[in-house]
Chain A
Amino acid sequence: MKKAIWIVVGILLLSSASWAHGNLEHVLGTVTAVTDHSLTVKTLDGSVKVVEFDAQTHFLRGEAAATAKDVRVGDRVVIHAHKHGEEFQAAEVKIGTNATTATK
């Protein structure tokens, strides 16, 4: 009986994974502009998105911690952001480890 309960709890936890991550939009693209509070990104489908960042935003290059100042125009980025209406607020910005142009 206990084993069955553990299995059910496990399934419930696993099935909840999409909820846990469900509130973040994933933005993949190439940086076209950088300001002290936002990144402009040309995404893979050709659209342009402006993503705000603040002191709470985590920047990473590979496994290493980075900062907003490490982001350059032309960098590939993967941004996980909260979407409020049409505005994006970055929770995490991963910077590409290979500086090639991204969009096709």
Chain B
Amino acid sequence: MSRGGKAVLIAIVVFAVGVCCSRLLPNFFSARRKGNAMEAGAARHLRSWAVPAEIKHNPNPLQSSPELLGEAAHHFADHCASCHGNDGSGNTEMGRHFYPPVPDMRLPATQQLSDGELYYVIHNGVRWSGMPAWGEAENDPDSWKLVLFIRHLPAMTPEEMRGMEPFNPRSAADRAEEEREEKFLQGEPVEPGAPKENHHSEKTK
């Protein structure tokens, strides 16, 4: 069989398996499922194999410094923390409910990846996981700065995390609520507000 024929055959088999899974296992494509250890291990190995060797062994071209870490922390708070949390734990409303759940990047499973692997994941994203690709294709120093920040996560202090909070994405309603709370704490009179709307709250889990 020609190479093209094999590719078509594999595509047909994959499609057929997908159709069977979706028909026979109604929750197969649900993100509400919890993955098992074998699936997670296989996914990690596949991802590792997918990183080209010359990139995997690339050292970070940037040296860690308070300035670069501060810049990366603000970047992380703005672009990444909605899913990963400011502390990198993944313990956020969205992070907990991805499939697979967002990893705790403070733990060895992430910290033992090489700088090149971390860069590759940030720069190229991970298909079918919810992790998007970031940065310009050719020149992406911001992703190397984020690698520095990920290395720093296990040593993050509560003060550093609070310093990131102003950079977290907020709606206009959230900003108005913060101002109202600040006025209240400073002793100014405030009116009782409408109850905060809790979309997709704990009750829905």
Distance to closest chain A CB from B189 (angstroms): 7
In the complex, which residues of chain B have a beta carbon less than 8 angstroms from the beta carbon of A97? 185-187
CB pair A94–B181 under 8 Å, yes or no, is yes
- Chain A residue contacts of B79, Cβ below 8 A: 13
User: With contacts A19-B200, A23-B201 known, is A28 near B94, CB below 8 A?
Assistant: no
Contact residues in B for A4 (Cβ distance below 8 Å): none
Chain A residues positioned under 8 Å from B66 (CB to CB): none
State whether A18 and B190 are in contact (beta carbons under 8 Å apart), knowing that A23-B202, A83-B202 are contacts in the complex.
no
Instruction: Give the residue name and chain of the A residue nearest to B97 (CB).
Output: A19
- A18-B173, A28-B193, A44-B190 provided; 6 other pairs, C-beta below 8 A? A18-B174, A65-B158, A77-B185, A78-B184, A97-B186, A98-B186
Q: Which of A16, A22, A23, A44 contacts B193 (CB 8 A)?
A: A44
B92 contacts across to A, CB distance below 8 A: 20
Query: Does B185 contact A83, Cβ atoms closer than 8 Å?
Result: no
Q: How far is the CA of A104 from the CA of B162 in the complex (A)?
A: 31
* Given contacts A14-B169, A58-B158, A94 and B199 within 8 Å (CB-CB): no
Q: List A contacts of B94 (CB < 8 A).
A: 16, 19-20
Please, what's the 1-or-0 string for B80-112, where 1 marks a CB less than 8 Å from any CB in chain A?
011000000000111000000000000000000
- Whether A35 sits at the interface, judged by CB under 8 Å, is no
**A2, B136: Cβ atoms under 8 Å?**
yes
Docked Cα-Cα span, A18 to B177, in Å, equals 12
Task: State whether the Cβ of A21 lies closer than 8 Å to any Cβ in chain B.
Answer: yes
Bound-complex Cα distance A8 to B163 (A): 27
Size category of the A interface is 35 or more
Residues of A close to B197: CB separation below 8 A = 18, 22
Q: Once the chains bind, are A96 and B181 in contact (CB under 8 Å)?
A: no
Question: In chain A, residues 6-30, which have Cβ atoms closer than 8 Å to a Cβ of chain B?
Answer: 9, 13-26, 28
Q: Is B139 an interface residue (CB 8 A)?
A: no
Asked whether, in the complex, the Cβ of A44 is within 8 Å of the Cβ of B132, the reply is: no
Contacts of A98 in B (CB 8 A): 185-187
Closest chain B CB from A27 CB (angstroms): 10
Please tell me if the beta carbons of B177 and A26 are within 8 angstroms of each other in the complex. Answer: yes
A20 to B80, CA, bound (A): 11
For A83, list chain B residues within 8 Å (CB). Answer: 198, 201-203
Q: List 26 A-B contacts (CB under 8 A).
A: A13-B169, A15-B171, A16-B82, A20-B93, A21-B170, A22-B198, A22-B199, A23-B93, A23-B202, A25-B196, A25-B198, A28-B184, A28-B193, A44-B191, A63-B162, A65-B158, A76-B184, A78-B181, A82-B202, A83-B198, A84-B202, A96-B184, A96-B186, A97-B186, A97-B187, A100-B187
